[in-house]
Structure formats: structure tokens, C-alpha cells
Structure 1
């Protein structure tokens, strides 16, 4: 871990990253890609020391909106247990009447259930959870340093029981690893059981580019001997790595979500996540 001072904390679209880097160890993580110009070891978490002061200043001058985090770094990395930057940011978001959404794989989000409920009562809070495999043993290989899929489903259910809407990211789907009809059916059954609002799926596959490709291949050699050579032969240096089962898997995804009233259109889900309830009582500053 190391500290830096940042010039700003919110993007033009109200995205927020309190940390940079991650220790979850997911073998497919795109955030390792060289394109993001990270000048430190990925596991050496960069903490934006002045982020909370910056957030307070920016919330005071911005129109009410949804504040989002987790697109680059899971906000609920283990370090958050100690530093509590996310929790403190939620306190500010609640105080100044903004909405909140995050993408995570961690059950640590339940620590902040009290604040999520308060925000949701005033405006809107949505938790997005990534699910890649219904097999907990495989999950421990793909995402070794974070809670298992079954635990994440427990989190989704707990959020639903407390009135917090949820969205599942069904990605990535790795060719010859988790791209099976059984896996997709089982994950969707989890989503149905947890009464999620929507499931985001950008196709059945993953993306690879310099930085994350090398790390991914290193892990394939360790856990799936011989599979790296198959990837290189079939996909070369391609950015987009589609599953050969994509058509069948997408049919299952669309049919099962539609039959169970789960939103599955990417545009509509992203619109829902970004929409701030203008008539909410949080339009007044406390």
C-alpha cells in the first residue's frame, strides 16, 4: 500500500475510484492491462489520501446524481476493512443527498448495509455483483482472494431482503473453463432465487490485451495445463475472445431472464444504474 494525493476524485460521469490496484487476484482482470498506465505493482494498492476531502468539495458543487465506483478497482478490497474510505464516502454521499452504486465481488459490502439503506430511502442505492461460475471450487481458482459465488448469492439475498436493488454482471465467460450450459443455467438460477433486478451480459467471452493477457496465460499454465496453447492457436492476439458456445449460451441467457422478469438489455440496465430519482427528498442539502 502507498498513498498519493489526487487532483480530483469524480469523473465527468460521477465515477469514483478511491483505490487503484487490487488484491482479489482474479486471473482475468482487465485492470491489469498496460493501457491504464499503472506505474506501480498491481497488488501494491494506491490509496488516494485526500479523496474524502475532494469528494466533499465536489459533492457540494455538483448537481445531484448517482455516484458510481468499482469499474476499475473493487471498492471492497481487504484494505477497506482498515481504512474505511468507502464507508466514509458513503456517509458524505448520504449527507449531501446523492445516490450510489458499486460493482464488487466482496461480502464486505454488507458492513455498509446501514448506510446503503439510508441512501436508498432518500434517493437510490444499487449494488452490482459479479458472478462468473456457480462452482465454488472453480471460483477459488478464478477469483482466489475474494468470497465464493455461493457467499455472493447470500449477499444478494440479504440486500434484496433489505430493499436494496441488485444487478449481476455475468462476465467474463472463459472459453473451455466456465462456458457451459450448466454453469450459465446455475448462475441464472442464483439470480432468480436472489430476485435481482437485472443481469448484465456483454456476450459470452472475455477480453485480453497486453498486461492482463500475460497474467491470464500464466494462471492458465498453472491451473489448466495446455489450455494456453489452445487459446494462442484459436485466438492469437485478439482483444475479443468469444466462447465457441456463445450462440447457445446467449439463447439460454435471454430466455431465462425474460421468463423470470429480469432485465437483460444492456442499454436499459446502464440507464437504470445512471438514473437519479429527481423527485427524491435528497434534493435538499442537510
Structure 2
């Protein structure tokens, strides 16, 4: 479907019933499925900060203002999370969206707790904090405002040029070493981008965002992700080269991850868009995942293993050295400035 990434809307792994449409032969003209419209629902979250202990992730706290993502990236490892809502990780993930209207309120309460220990918070670890609905809802903007008031460090990961809207806040935080931004770029080819990530910003717009962020004094990095064997891996060197030319201070990459239902969703995409490559792509994926479609083991899931994965790693490191880029996608941020700001009505200390 034009403007959508997933080819189907198959049931999630927790569904007890599976439905399959079969043509009965009576209709002379077969009805084509209509393109699903995007719906946005309000969610009242009970908590807002997610915590992890993964040694291969450069942060232990994250916030996702939205469930689902209209960018429609076919490779998104967060797609299977829609199964927890009894929705499909396929088309539902990119058309049935939820926003946490009370996110900023919850964050302020969490940061104000007496026992809270400051540690950098990532915005966008799963779904994009600057997907199209953020333009109107401004949930991400409200979170940044809270973080700025508390002088709390944060990292931002996005593939949207909308991040430029918040340069005022980000620049203010950057002056205090409280923020860094990573822009994700998957391909320089417009034809490939249209099917891989149909509603994400253009590559040109993303590189422009890199330049504007750097010009504003905000530490900015480029993430080449995911590396898809025989689909976009040949672009690695050029993406990093253009990232350096745009002013990025560092780069990183992530090997294609296919957890849970995403295995079949991605296979459907291969058959629909690059059928002649499908078998070879999955063969290289499995060679890099110990013979499986996916290996979730820490230390392996982001990079893969084996000859092909090792070659990607060496190419990446060599290209970073050539263009004098740090091989990472986050900046070292300062946690010592964190403080809970006084609220209206708080008792002020009296000095004599």
C-alpha cells in the first residue's frame, strides 16, 4: 500500500484466533483492501521511565512518548510491542497510534522523588519521538521542557527533521553538557527509502538537520541503522562520509534485528519489493545470527557475528578513522547539575 511499510496486518503472537481471507470465486471483480487510515488514541500512562540493564545500550533509562509509529519503517524492532495491545505488528503498528498525554506530569513526579538517582534518559529508544503526530501533540517538547528545568541529561534518537523545531531547548541544554542528538539514516537512495521507511523524513532533510544542530552547538551523531545485508550495506561508507561532511561528531551502526513477528513481516517486505534478493538476504542474516533469523543475546544482537558481520565492523571502523569521526552515537553528559526546581508554594529557607 502506498505510504505504508508493512505488506499485511497479521495477528500478533498473543492472539488465540487467526483469520485468513479466501476468495470464494463468486465475485467477478476481486475487491482490493482499502488503505488504512491513521488513528490516534489518548493513553493515560501509569509510569513513564523505562529502565534496562543491557550492557550493549549506552543508557539505562528511556522514555517513549508514543506507542506505534507512523514512519512505517519495515525493519523496526519495536513492531512486536503492538502485540501487547492485541494489535498487529504489521499495518496496525503504523496506523493505530497512542500518545501519553500525561508524560510530562509523570516525569516531573518521578524526578522529584527523594530517592531518584540521576542517569541520562533517552527519548526514542523504540518509537520515534518526532514522528508526524508530534507536530500537533508536542509530547516530546513537553518532556524536554521538564528535563531542561531539572537540568537533567538526555539523549535523543530520531529520523525526523522535526527535531529542528526544538533547537532552542536543545541548544540551551547543550551549553550545560546535558544533551546529544543522534539522527538515524538507513539509505541514501530515495527509491529504497520510500519502501523501507515510507513516512520518514527525506535523507536530504535529515542531513540538513545534522548541519543545523551542529551549527547551534548541539552534539550530533549519525546512526547507520539497520545494516541490511545485500540491501543497504554497500552504502555504509558513503553515509558516514556524508555524515562527516554535514558536521556529525560521531557515528554508529546497528545490524538488522528481527525479533518475534518481525521475522515474517520483513520476509513479506522482501518478497514484495526485492523478491530476487530475498533468499540471499535471509541467508546472510542467518549467517550473522548463528544460523537463526535473530539472536537476542547481549553483545550479539546489535552487531551480529561471523564473517559478514565482522566485515561490516571493520569497514565501519576504518571509515570512521578515515573521516575522523568517533565510533559512537552519544555524548558524555553531565549528571552533577541535576536538581529539583522549587515549586510554587514550597517553603523557602530563611537566613538570619
What is aligned with 1:239?
A: 294
- 8 Å contact from structure 2 (residues 101, 139) kept in 1: no
What is aligned with 1:110?
A: 164
Q: Helix, strand or coil: the match of 1:126? A: strand
Query: Structure 1 residue 78: deviation in Å?
Result: 0.7
Aligned residues: 275
1:29 correspondence with 2:76: yes
CA distance in 2, matches of 1:57, 1:172: 35
* Superposition map of 1:108-187 within 5 A: 108-180=162-234, 183-187=235-239
CA distance in 1, matches of 2:259, 2:50: 24
CA distance in 2, matches of 1:110, 1:257: 25
What is aligned with 2:259?
A: 209
What is aligned with 2:48?
A: 9
Counterpart of 1:42 (choices 75, 82, 93) is 93
In the alignment, structure 2 segments of 5+ residues that lack a partner are 1-39, 52-59, 296-303, 343-352
Change (3 A) 1:243 1:215: farther
Change (3 A) 1:164 1:50: same
Change (3 A) 1:65 1:82: same
Query: Structure 1 residue 164: deviation in Å?
Result: 0.4
Query: Structure 1 residue 248: deviation in Å?
Result: 4.0
CA distance in 1, matches of 2:142, 2:134: 10
With 100-109 and 210-219 compared, the bigger mean Cα shift is at 210-219
Question: Can you list the C-alpha shifts for 1:79-116, whole angstroms capped at 9, x where unaligned?
Answer: 11111111111111111211221110000111111111
Aligned-residue Cα RMSD (Å) equals: 2.5
CA distance in 2, matches of 1:37, 1:276: 35
- 8 Å contact from structure 1 (residues 64, 276) kept in 2: no
CA distance in 1, matches of 2:104, 2:225: 31
CA distance in 1, matches of 2:117, 2:260: 38
Query: Structure 1 residue 219: deviation in Å?
Result: 1.6
Question: Can you list the C-alpha shifts for 1:229-275, whole angstroms capped at 9, x where unaligned?
Answer: 444556375205779754444333212212333111x5xx56x45x4
Q: Helix, strand or coil: the match of 2:108? A: helix
CA distance in 2, matches of 1:88, 1:24: 21
- 8 Å contact from structure 2 (residues 227, 253) kept in 1: no
CA distance in 2, matches of 1:31, 1:87: 22
- 8 Å contact from structure 1 (residues 17, 69) kept in 2: yes
With 242-251 and 26-35 compared, the bigger mean Cα shift is at 242-251
Change (3 A) 1:244 1:51: same
In the alignment, structure 1 segments of 5+ residues that lack a partner are none
With 225-234 and 71-80 compared, the bigger mean Cα shift is at 225-234
- 8 Å contact from structure 1 (residues 3, 46) kept in 2: yes
Change (3 A) 1:261 1:284: farther
What is aligned with 2:65?
A: 18
- 8 Å contact from structure 2 (residues 174, 219) kept in 1: no
Query: Structure 1 residue 27: deviation in Å?
Result: 1.4
